[in-house]
A and B are shown apart, each in its own frame.
Chain A
Amino acid sequence: QKEVEQNSGPLSVPEGAIASLNCTYSDRGSQSFFWYRQYSGKSPELIMFIYSNGDKEDGRFTAQLNKASQYVSLLIRDSQPSDSATYLCAANSGTYKYIFGTGTRLKVLA
């Protein structure tokens, strides 16, 4: 069974701090990785994707990928209360099939 694992949280950080969200995956054939944000009662929305080892930055968000360790992370700098949501990690093995983790709930405390 191909899996994507995330700590369910909640992860609580103070406003202005860096939030670090982590994800591991079991399928070594996974090629692309995604971070979705999901507010309570809403649908997931894509924040970032990454497919090369290393870091990818987009505004306050940085995705990090380490294929050797089968590890993906998302850093959120200058966290805001509006970042409070569940963050879903997903992996794709080159097909159109995406495997999602169960998500990490982030709470940013004002």
Chain B
Amino acid sequence: DAGVIQSPRHEVTEMGQEVTLRCKPISGHDYLFWYRQTMMRGLELLIYFNNNVPIDDSGMPEDRFSAKMPNASFSTLKIQPSEPRDSAVYFCASRDTDSYNEQFFGPGTRLTVL
């Protein structure tokens, strides 16, 4: 298996622009997580899905952030409009119910908002 795939790996955009981050989980995994990592706040859970359904989005910072999972093999995290404080590395992770507590992380998307 190729592991969790994220695109793009790097994104540089200007304040006010829309940003879409993409994730393909490991085939067969029924949980998908979106995290944001910064030096100051560390790794923060934004939202997670089970069987394509959002379960907990309490970590989504504000209405500018939205996430979807239209099918088992694809998820997006959208920021509209983007702000400089959104600059961070965004990780997607997946796991299946039977793999006791182990999440597998994608390579991350480094987002820079100018």
Contact = CB atoms under 8 A, between A and B. Distances in A.
B60 to A, nearest CB: 13
Nearest to B42: A102
Given A98-B45, A100-B44, A43 B105 contact: yes
Interface string A27-53: 000001010000000111110010000
B34 interface: no
Size bracket, chain B contacts: 20 to 34
A103 B50 contact: no
A93 to B, nearest CB: 12
Contacts of B105: 43-45
B42 A97 contact: no
B107 A96 contact: no
Interface residues of A, number: 19
Contacts, number: 46
A96 B102 contact: no
B114 interface: no
A65 B101 CA distance: 17
Nearest to A100: B43
B108 A43 contact: yes
Nearest to B95: A96
A97 B107 CA distance: 20
A32 B44 CA distance: 17
Given A43-B108, A45-B105, A102-B42, 4 more contacts: A34-B101, A46-B103, A98-B33, A98-B45
5 contacts: A42-B107, A45-B105, A96-B33, A101-B42, A102-B41
